[in-house]
Chain A
């Protein structure tokens, strides 16, 4: 049996979903599009029911891509759990009535029930059941209240005989139901309301945004560096290195397998950046350098997402984003890009027009460095001094803005305006944050580790075959002439096509000056998307636009690198 969780955005579907399903949660994409839905399983007596968390939708007359997907998915469901926000009954019931018209069994989960009390909302659940003609179960996703009853009453889901001729008639019916089943009394002021008022104040809001952004950067860095300092570096130093040295000796300190597994010993020792063996660099980069930043970034992002801050950030950024041909909501895929460009480019699907999706995806690929790349930038460039890290980030940000301004003037098409719901601030339950974090971190390990290992292997092979020397000589005029870098740097750019973090690692043995490190990091970040991003870009933008975007990236990288060479 397939159960669909359908409801407005921000009603707590995901929390309900995580409570209903077991540990086996799979995040997938709906075939043919890339709007996310999540699938899980629920044991119902003898049977295993499939539960799908459908993308939030306001209406079944779709006004967005996500809503089109939701409408499609309805055709393949056996039962619908309509998750309704009890604090916004009227608007939510519009969708409910539309669902009831679809001849599919429906049961209503009246969620966020706990907030009705201090908002002064009183709902007569029995009356609501009578008026709608379906079972209505009050639930509190955050605490789990009502979930058991919801599951117990699932068999009661039914298809009442209803039909409404048009949206006006439907709204009239909604109004009638609400006036009979809901009454309002005095609303208590909560501390979250104070925060809301502060965020809404034009100047206060901007100030809070700056504080939040700085705090976020600081926290991400603090947590990541703590993990590196207290967990991963000690593990590598005290456990892994001695182990690898034993393997090295056993392999005779040289030879084919030694090269593959351990790599080169630098001064008789393993250097995790330079050795380039599968077990040395191949393991250190993903686990020792990148994973700490993946964990801390996604923890911070998950909290920002679930607290409900991002839509407010979108409002603040809207005016700036309009200059770049986007609107405020495009900040969300952009922020996702700081974790990994792949889900970020996929997330550009939430933007309404082709022009916006092209600009957003291109800007993300050019100017937003993923967590893996950032970890390596902080690790390697940071060794030269914090100001150089700042130069890299500053160059990337400046490029993002300037190229955005240019694209806004040159790309044809229209960009609609921002229209988005701002959810109230809510304290997210740790459970949800934890599960999301686990999904993202395990996803990283599963996807990145094989590619990193393959890339390290490929590097070793190409090195041995002398391919790199050939490439370096061909590219020398540009690399040395324009960018002021030793010609061997081109090798890192080539590997950047596979993995940018491993490519950064290839800069380590080149003995670059601080200025050269800045230039090579910036160019690497901007140059050509890594293969994973390239594949997703091709899928989202179609061939011609992807080629255009790539050409822009290459040109921009070389121009910026040359400017840096001149200016720094």
Chain B
């Protein structure tokens, strides 16, 4: 069992430019599969690239790709920083 040292945040709570490791996705198989297909899965390092005004999508970078994730989904991706 991994002991998490750093702070746990949702993707939405992350700061712009911050990097963290995905540790969990609060959702069912469908959501997990959709995110996994795009490379967002536990253990991956992601960087928050931007957010949009008025509760819009969050853009993050995983490896060399940028992915835009809807606001609600961004609340369900748990990331460990630091």
Query: Interface on A for B, CB 8 Å cutoff?
Result: 58-59, 61, 63, 87-88, 90-91, 94, 119, 121, 167, 171, 196, 200-203, 205-206, 311, 314-316, 318-319, 327-328, 416-424
Q: Would A206 and B64 count as touching, CB distance under 8 A? A: no
CA distance A90 to B43 in the complex (A): 13
CA distance A202 to B59 in the complex (A): 11
CB neighbours of B34 from chain A (8 A): 63, 419
CB neighbours of B70 from chain A (8 A): 318, 327, 416-419
Q: Would B56 and A318 count as touching, CB distance under 8 A? A: yes
From 23 to 82 in chain B, residues with beta carbon under 8 angstroms from any chain A beta carbon are 30, 33-39, 41, 49-57, 59, 62-73
Q: Would A328 and B33 count as touching, CB distance under 8 A? A: no
Query: Interface on B for A, CB 8 Å cutoff?
Result: 30, 33-39, 41, 49-57, 59, 62-73
* Chain B proximity of A239: nearest CB distance (Å): 51
Q: A315-B57, A417-B72, A421-B65 are in contact. List 6 more A-B contacts (CB 8 A).
A: A63-B37, A91-B38, A91-B62, A319-B54, A417-B70, A424-B66
Q: Would A318 and B57 count as touching, CB distance under 8 A? A: yes
* Chain B proximity of A90: nearest CB distance (Å): 6
Q: Would B64 and A87 count as touching, CB distance under 8 A? A: yes
CA distance A319 to B51 in the complex (A): 12
Q: Given A59-B37, A91-B38, A91-B39, is A315 in contact with B52 using a C-beta cutoff of 8 Å?
A: yes
Contact of B67 among A94, A319, A422 (CB under 8 A): A422
CA distance A421 to B52 in the complex (A): 16
* Chain A proximity of B12: nearest CB distance (Å): 12
CB neighbours of A63 from chain B (8 A): 30, 33-34, 37
Contact of B52 among A171, A319, A416, A420 (CB under 8 A): A319
Nearest B residue to A64, CB-CB: B34
Question: In this complex, which of A58, A87, A422, A423 has the most chain B Cβ atoms within 10 angstroms of its Cβ?
Answer: A422
Q: Would B52 and A419 count as touching, CB distance under 8 A? A: no
CB neighbours of B56 from chain A (8 A): 315-316, 318-319
Q: Would B41 and A419 count as touching, CB distance under 8 A? A: no
CB neighbours of B41 from chain A (8 A): 171
Rank and list the top 7 A-B pairs by shortest CB-CB distance, nearest first: A417-B70, A58-B37, A200-B50, A422-B66, A91-B39, A418-B70, A319-B56
Contact of B64 among A88, A205, A419 (CB under 8 A): A88
CA distance A327 to B36 in the complex (A): 20
CB neighbours of B69 from chain A (8 A): 417-419
Question: In this complex, which of A167, A171, A200 has the most chain B Cβ atoms within 10 angstroms of its Cβ?
Answer: A200
CB neighbours of A58 from chain B (8 A): 37-38
Q: Would A422 and B54 count as touching, CB distance under 8 A? A: no
* Chain A proximity of B59: nearest CB distance (Å): 6
CB neighbours of A88 from chain B (8 A): 39, 63-65
CA distance A205 to B16 in the complex (A): 15
CA distance A222 to B42 in the complex (A): 50
Nearest A residue to B67, CB-CB: A421
Q: Would B65 and A417 count as touching, CB distance under 8 A? A: no
Q: Given A88-B64, A314-B68, A315-B68, is A419 in contact with B49 using a C-beta cutoff of 8 Å?
A: no
Q: Given A418-B69, A419-B70, A421-B66, is A202 in contact with B39 using a C-beta cutoff of 8 Å?
A: no
Nearest B residue to A316, CB-CB: B52
CA distance A419 to B37 in the complex (A): 11
CA distance A61 to B32 in the complex (A): 12
Q: Given A59-B37, A63-B34, A200-B50, is A422 in contact with B55 using a C-beta cutoff of 8 Å?
A: no
CA distance A104 to B17 in the complex (A): 42
Nearest B residue to A352, CB-CB: B34
CB neighbours of A328 from chain B (8 A): 57, 68
